[in-house]
Structure 1
C-alpha cells in the first residue's frame, strides 16, 4: 500500500497542478480500450489505430512544447513599490499564505481578507513572530529601525485573535525570524504567485528591501522551493495567536 501511495503521489500532484493532463488522459483511454479488446468489444485494428495516433500526438506534443526560458533578473527582482496595491493580489485569492514578523501591512486590510477571501469560502494561513522577548530582540536587530517591533507585533496579534473566529482562517507564531517574509496567493494553482521579501541588515525603511516575485509558470523550480519554505515555517511555528496579557488587550472588545 505504501509503494502504491508513493507511486501515485507524483501523478496526483501533477493532476492537481494541471501538468501532463493529455498524457494521463491518453493512458487511461488506452487502458479502457485494451480492456474492451480483451472482451472483443474493440477489434485489434482499432487498437492499432489508437496506438499510432497516441504516439503521434505525444511526439508532436514533445516537439512543440516550448523550452522554459529563464526570466531576466529585473523581471523578478523588485522593490515594494513595484508590486502595486495588495488589494489587486487579493481579488483573485482563494488561498492566501503569509509569513511576516508582524504582517502589519497585510493585517491593516483585515476586512479585505474576510470579505475577499474568507467569506467567499477561501482559506488564509498566517504566521507572525512569536512575541517572546528573545525572539523580538533578535528580529529587531535585522529589521529597519523606524518600527517599534514589539508594539506593532502586539497590534497584529490582536487582529489575528479576531480573525481566528472566521471559518477558513488559521494562524501561528514562529519563535525566530528566518530573514525573509512570504506572501503566497493560490499556492497550489497553476496560476499561483508568491513574493519573497528579504530582510536586509541596517535598512532604514521597508521600501529598501529586495522583493522576489515568482509565478509557477515562469519559474516552477524556485516557486516550488519557496512554497516548501512556507510549509517548513508553518510546521516550525506554535499554534494559534499568543495568549492575552495585561499589556495586550483589545480596547474595543475588552480583555480576551
Structure 2
C-alpha cells in the first residue's frame, strides 16, 4: 500500500512522471511480448533504450530534496513564515508543549479564534503539563529554565498563565471545537501538528535538550508525509497517545457551551 500511495502522491505533485510513463510502457511491452510478433521489434528497442536513457539521466540528478528546504531548524525559522500564518489557513491544530506559552501567545490565540475555530469542523487540541504535579513541574523547570543560559521566563509562572488562557478559550462560543488536557510529566519534546490528514500537513517537533543558549535555540524538525511517512505518522501517533493519557479538564461554568472536548477531571 505504501508503494501505491507514493505513486499517487508523486503523480499529484507531478514528480517522476517520466519515470512512471516509461516504466508503464516497458512493462506493457514485456507483458504483450509473451505472444510473439504482436509488438514490432523496433518498438521494443525504442522502449528499452528509453528506459536506459532515463536511468542514466536520473543518475546525474542531485539527490531529491523537499521543496520546503532543510527540515532541521530552530525557532528562528518561524520568522520567515510565522506559525500564526500557518494557523490562519488550517482546520486541525494539535499542540503538546510543557506550557505552550510561547506558541499560544494572545495574538496566536486570536488567530485561532478567527480562523480554525471559526470554521465548522475546525479543531484545536492542546496538551500541557499538569501544574498540580509539583515534582514533575520542578524537574521540567530544572531542564527548561535553569539549564538555559539566558533565561527570560519560568515554567511554573508560564503554566499558571496558560491555564487561565486555555480556560478562557474553552468558554468561547465558536463554530469549531476546542479542548485542552493536562499531562503529568515532561517527555522531553514539544509538538505542533497542522492538518495532519491532508497532503499539505506539517509536523514540527522541538527537542528540548540541555544547556541551550536560549529557548529559541532548540532544534526543530519539520516533517511532512511526503518527506518521511514513517516518522510523520510516528509523531502524530505520539500526540494521540499523549492526548489519550492526559487528564481531561473541567468544563467552564458558562450558560451556553461551545463544542469543547472537556469534562470533569478525574480524581
TM interval, short-chain normalised: 0.5 to 0.7
Calculate the aligned-residue CA RMSD, in Å.
3.5
Equivalent residue in structure 2 for 1:186, among 186, 189, 195: 195
Q: 1:69 to 1:226 in 2, by over 3 A?
A: farther
Give the drift of 1:222.
Answer: 1.1
Deviation of the 1:165 alpha carbon: 2.4
> What's the secondary structure of 1:75's corresponding residue?
coil
Q: Structure 1 residue 71: deviation in Å?
A: 5.9
4+ aligned runs moved over 4 Å, structure 1: 17-20, 68-72
Cα offsets for 1:221-247 (capped at 9, x unmatched)? 11111111111111121112699xxxx
Say whether 1:120 aligns with 2:129: no
Q: CA–CA distance in 2 between the matches of 1:226 and 1:193? A: 11
Q: What is the alpha-carbon distance in structure 2 between the residues aligned to residue 177 and residue 18 of structure 1?
A: 39
Equivalences for residues 17-166 of structure 1 within 5 A:
69=64, 75-83=70-78, 84-108=81-105, 109-121=108-120, 122-131=122-131, 132-145=133-146, 146=151, 147-166=153-172
Secondary structure at 1:154's aligned position in 2? helix
Equivalents in 2 of 1:242, 1:104: separation in Å? 21
Equivalent residues of 2:170, 2:251 under 8 A apart: no
Structure 1 unaligned residues grouped into runs of 5+: 1-9, 23-55, 244-256
Q: Residue 173 of structure 1 contacts residue 241 of structure 1 at CA under 8 Å; is this kept in 2?
A: no
Conservation of the 8 A alpha-carbon contact between 1:103 and 1:128 = yes
Distance 1:129 1:172, change over 3 A: same
Q: Secondary structure at the match of 1:231?
A: helix
Q: How many residues align?
A: 196
| 1:175-254 to 2 correspondences below 5 Å | 175-240=184-249
1:91 CA displacement: 2.2
Structure 2: give runs of 5+ residues left out of the alignment. 12-23, 29-50, 253-267
More helix by share: 1
CA shift in 2, pair 1:94/1:170, >3 Å: same
Segment drifting more, 198-207 vs 95-104: 198-207
1:206: how far off?
A: 0.8
Measure, in 1, the Cα distance between the counterparts of 2:124 and 2:218: 25
Deviations 1:189-211 (A, max 9, x none): 12110100000112241111000
* 2:216 partner SS: helix
